[in-house]
Amino acid sequence: MTEKVIELNDLSLVDFFGVNEKNLNFLSILYPNVQLIQRGDKLKIMGKEKHIEEFDKAFKELLNIYHSEGKMNEKMIMNALNPNTKSTKEDTESNDILVHGRNGLIIKAQTPNQMQMVKSIKDNDMLFALGPAGSGKTYTAVALAVRALKAKQVKRIILTRPAVEAGENLGFLPGDLKDKLDPYLQPLYDALRDMLLQQKLDQYLEDRTIEIAPLAFMRGRTLDNAFVILDEAQNATYSQLKMFLTRMGRNAKFIITADPTQIDLPRNQPSGLKEAEKFLKKVEGIGFVYLKAYDIIRHPLVSKIVEAYTKEEKK
């Protein structure tokens, strides 16, 4: 008799194995030739080598489905293990659900342009998502990054923003440098808290699987095997944006989100976004998605506010 141990990372044991390990017991019935012992985040499989390999193959399929659906039940197990049922990668990609978040929250693209973001990052390694506040640029980008991490397409997520003082002075804020910068990065933390269990998020932040840092901290680095998001890119200068875009390493995906109408840079520091758009628009492998006021999914008044300001500013 041989044995194999499977690490149960990136999942809720209750959601996967069921209350009182109902799903695990069901698997034991379906695979009587192996003995299954679950202890914490490890599953030990004991039996003959050929039976262990058979179970291991089926279990990997179940893990793929769980990461796509965020849950597991007996019906899903039967469908997954039925050779006449095709519920593999092809179905996962056609499913518009990006991430199953905390407390059963389903996170998916909700507007045509958000859906276009999902399609564009699949077809391109770099994506510029430009649009007004509340149009879901950052949230969709973070969901895509979390999905890629869970699917093991990348090894880490890097989220960055320019630390620009939007009417406030960093020097007057209390605390050390991290305390001063965290308020500028808060929207990224908020999105991650929707998508990951707090314990898992804390672990990822501690071991730097997920890194959240100001744009200046990207200088000199090569970002390999990573899903990287530059948020609020309209507040990056020409040299900062050029620096960031050239950090791209192997097996990397970059999303740059920006609202061109909300530039907080001092007047003597123009944004580098306009030049980046002009220079890169026709570069193969770089996509551009333009979100509009109708993509805004906050309070209905926000869309009207954006439209009113846009109309007046054009005058």
Q: Please name which of 128, 112, 133, 16 lies closest in space to residue 63, comparing C-alpha atoms.
A: 16
- Does 61 share its domain with 204? no
Calculate what percentage of the chain has a pLDDT beyond 70.
88
Mean pLDDT over 215-222 rounds to: 90
Q: Are residues 42 and 130 in the same domain?
A: no
76 and 110 in one domain? Answer: no
pLDDT tops 60 at residue 9: yes
Confidence band (pLDDT; 50, 70, 90) for 246?
very high
Are residues 88 and 232 both part of a single domain? Answer: no
Domain boundary among 92, 114, 149: 92
Render pLDDT for 146-163 as a digit per residue (tens, 0 to 9).
999 998 999 999 999 887
Q: Cα(33)–Cα(39) distance, rounded to whole angstroms?
A: 20
Closest CA to 35 of 19, 24, 20: 24
Question: Do 133 and 267 share a domain, yes or no?
Answer: yes
Q: How far apart are CA 182 and CA 180, in angstroms?
A: 6
* pLDDT of 167 higher than 50: no
| Least confident residue range of 45-59, 93-107, 196-210, 301-315 | 93-107
Reported as a pLDDT band with limits 50, 70 and 90, residue 105 is confident
The CA distance from 312 to 315, in Å, is 5
- The C-alpha atoms of residue 198 and residue 196 are separated, in whole angstroms, by 6
Residue 67: closest CA among 35, 95, 26, 34: 95
Q: Highest mean pLDDT range out of 1-15, 83-97, 230-244, 256-270?
A: 230-244
| Mean residue pLDDT across the chain | 84
The tokens of 289 are what? 């998605």
pLDDT value at position 216? 85
Q: What is the pLDDT of residue 231?
A: 94
- Residues 287, 199, single domain; the answer is yes
pLDDT of residue 118 exceeding 80, the answer is yes
Look up the pTM and report it. Answer: 0.67
What does the pLDDT read at residue 133?
Answer: 86
Residues 70, 63: Cα–Cα separation, whole Å: 10
Is 34 within 8 Å of 47 (Cβ atoms)? yes
Task: Kindly report the CATH number assigned to the domain that includes residue 231.
Answer: 3.40.50.300
**Between the CA of residue 116 and those of 80, 119, 140, 194, 234, what are the distances in Å?**
29, 5, 11, 22, 21
pLDDT of residue 210: 95
Element (H, E) at 287: strand 286-290
Most confident residue range from 22-31, 60-69, 151-160: 151-160
**Residue after which a domain boundary falls, among 52, 73, 92:** 92
pLDDT over 50 (residue 93): no
- List the CATH number of the domain containing 69: 3.30.1370.10
Do 57 and 139 fall into the same domain? no
The answer to whether 125 and 285 have CB atoms below 8 angstroms apart is: yes
> Is the per-residue pLDDT at 165 higher than 60?
no
pLDDT score recorded for residue 227: 97
**What is the average per-residue pLDDT within 65-92?**
64
In this structure, the answer to whether residues 295 and 202 fall within a common structural domain is: yes
Determine contact, residues 183/232, Cβ cutoff 8 Å.
no
The pairs formed by 173-176 with CB atoms below 8 angstroms and a separation of 24 or more are none
- The alpha carbon of 200 is separated from its chain's Cα centroid by a whole number of angstroms, namely 14
Six token digits for residue 275: 């030049």
More confident residue, 187 or 233: 233
Smallest CA-to-CA distance from 135 within 277, 260, 303 is with 303
How many domains, the chain? Answer: 2
pLDDT above 50: residue 86: no
Does residue 178 register a pLDDT over 80? no
> How far apart are the C-alpha atoms of 125 and 286, rounded to whole Å?
6
Domain that holds residue 30: 2-92
Q: Mean per-residue pLDDT for 110-117? A: 89
For residues 77-82, give the mean pLDDT: 72
Same-domain status, 129 and 238: yes
Residue 172, pLDDT score = 53
For residues 288 and 116, give the distance between their C-alpha atoms in angstroms, rounded to a whole number. 9
Given the structure tokens 């399929």, which residue do they identify? 61
Tokens of 220: 């000199």
227 forms beta bridges with: 157, 253
